[in-house]
Structure 1
């Protein structure tokens, strides 16, 4: 069993430990969410593709539904126009893994994962007045942005798709050991993302520049090193009071060492969006020092490549 098939079989193979308490009295409960999509056209896929993340968007006219599945080993995304039963392939060099960030040293283990585009989240950018897609490869320290209008215009990807590369931007980096798998954005504009190397969950208010001073951590590092180990998956739900759902599964230990079944190896966690960011820089009520509200910025901050 490889690490991709493990992700889909963990619920059957192992007993889950469901927690009833959380730091700052946020409750954790069990969740299971299955995604269902349409059968993608064969010309949009390549042999050996591993489907990793999926997002859905309905445009403002409510007549065309798109989904964005990514393929971690093939470094691309597929646009699926569900209403018209169409799909097309989107490629960009920023989908590729960063070799430096592909080297993982976790729990005394050293391994290399060349995982491409992995985490995706959609938000509305008030400056450009359009929806944007934030994304990052798992083997990367950086975050990127692109307009969803570009992705959803099929004709732009039929010929000369290389011309579209100039519209994918890097907005900043999370620093060394800042690799992230999944991410999601709440209605208040706050992005949550996993920090697999740091055993933590990061957050960012998308109305503020993507600088490290504006990137928060939700857990005390002295606590999270044992409380959450390898937070692999994250989802922001659409409830009236939104919650962040996290799966922690010690996947590297399972793959390259031996799990201790006398310990808690798997956790499904839930935290109230507003409660967990209340005292962090990610709280939209905490205004950035220079008053800037733009998320599309160019930084020179000792960038991690």
Structure 2
């Protein structure tokens, strides 16, 4: 009898619990080079070193899958790229918006500059600014990107290259906005120097807008290094820096072990997700968490969009502690899915993807586990949900890339699944009515 019950349970799990499918995988990233001669010349000169190209962020727009490749080390061929969604397992990356826009000048020593903290050499800063003046579409190094409801791609460009080697600030931190229908740059906004601190690090960008009013858009830029959020007002073409205690990391949650590598991080506010608008004005909840933390917080977007209120101490109590995910649940990215009312998030300490239904209390018991795999989900770095309810997860074993060495074989993957299917059997499936 016990055996029959066990078999029935196993069949139930097999039938209803659907894991993520491996859609794409790479041993090394390759690119759609102008020619084989150009590729070989780049290899010979060290401008392309295969093992230094690590995918980190992804975004989906229509039939395009965008992939970012930050310039952690020298030899990154292109930082902003895409490929057409298809059945090819290891597609080559196409630089966006062009090859030229993703190329650093030949002489690295003549154009580096320092912005935001530390010493700024005026002549070198001018040369770096000239890099953008020559081609304002230039993308130096980007981590995460976001496409909005108005068919625009928002790119947070750190302007920083060779981060793990000899860091070079080629250009100031800036936001580049592209029209995805024409692949043309709409605007480049440089974050003012007084909003960039010595330890600032912008590795994410969230866009708050509606297709009914594309000019009324706001970008939220979590500053994980100096614990703040820079808010960019698109209509007025200005930004301001917002501070709050909830943007800081938890000193008890900075110890991480991924892929057998132990390390300690102090990353503050990082993941952010936008709830669904509740009225015609686009009012909604902004969910957020620090990377070195297991707690989740929220704040109304009306707070962040009001510069006077957001930058004053009066806004302190507008922020809410939602709860704690539980032990070893540190997360990088999160994303809200309107179809299921579920926020999906990475679990880097567990090689997993978690979920939470926003209609339930934020407790460990209400956190679901969509998938966990110590082979395919080692450091799930970014995730997105498209308008068809497809969840995409990029895993890249980044701690091994930074602190050790990646092993031969497939290290980079994009996994996918239908949001309505992957939450079956988890606490995220049924919401409180």
Tell me which interval the TM-score lies in, with the shorter structure as reference length. Answer: 0.7 to 0.9
Match 2:343 to one of 172, 175, 191: 191
Q: Does 1:170 align with 2:289?
A: no
Q: 1:229 aligns with which of 340, 359, 378?
A: 378
1:153 corresponds to = 306
The aligned counterpart of 2:201 is: 50
Check conservation: 2:287, 2:296, Cα contact below 8 A: yes
What whole-Å deviation, never above 9, does each CA across 1:247-293 have from its counterpart, x for those lacking one? Answer: 111111122222111x211112222222222332212xx244xx5xx
**Residue of structure 2 in register with 1:91 after alignment:** 243
Is 1:282 the counterpart of 2:428 in the alignment? yes
Distance 1:145 1:276 in 2: 25
Match of 1:41 in 2: 192
**Cα distance in structure 2, aligned partners of 1:156 and 1:31:** 47
- TM-score normalised according to structure 2 size: 0.56
What's the RMSD between the two structures over aligned residues?
3.3
1:51-130 alignment, distance < 5 Å: 51-58=202-209, 62=213, 63-124=215-276, 130=283
Q: Which has the higher contact order (CA 8 A, sep 6+)?
A: 1
Mapped to 1, the partners of 2:210 and 2:245 lie a distance apart of 27
Cα distance change, pair 204–157 in 1 and its aligned pair in 2 (3 A): closer
Runs (5+) with no aligned partner, structure 1: 14-19, 22-26, 292-305
Matched, 1:251 2:398: yes
- Residue 61 to residue 248, structure 1, CA distance change in 2 (3 Å): closer
Describe the SS at the equivalent of 1:136: strand
Q: Which runs of 4+ in 1 moved over 3 A?
A: 3-7, 9-13, 27-35
For the pair shown, which has the larger CA radius of gyration, 1 or 2? 2
| Structure 2: segments with no counterpart, 5+ residues | 1-51, 57-67, 79-85, 94-144, 146-152, 156-174, 176-187
User: TM-score w.r.t. structure 1 length?
Assistant: 0.78
Give the corresponding residue for 1:301.
Answer: none
Tell me if the contact between 2:228 and 2:241 (Cα under 8 Å) persists in the aligned partners.
yes
User: CA offsets, 1:42-86, max 9 Å, x none?
Assistant: 333224421111111126972411111111101111111111111
CA contact (8 A) 1:199 1:230 kept: yes
Q: Report whether the alignment pairs 1:140 with 2:293.
A: yes
Counterpart contact for 1:29–1:268, Cα < 8 Å: no
Maintained 8 Å contact 2:256/2:265: yes
SS of the aligned residue for 2:70 comes to helix
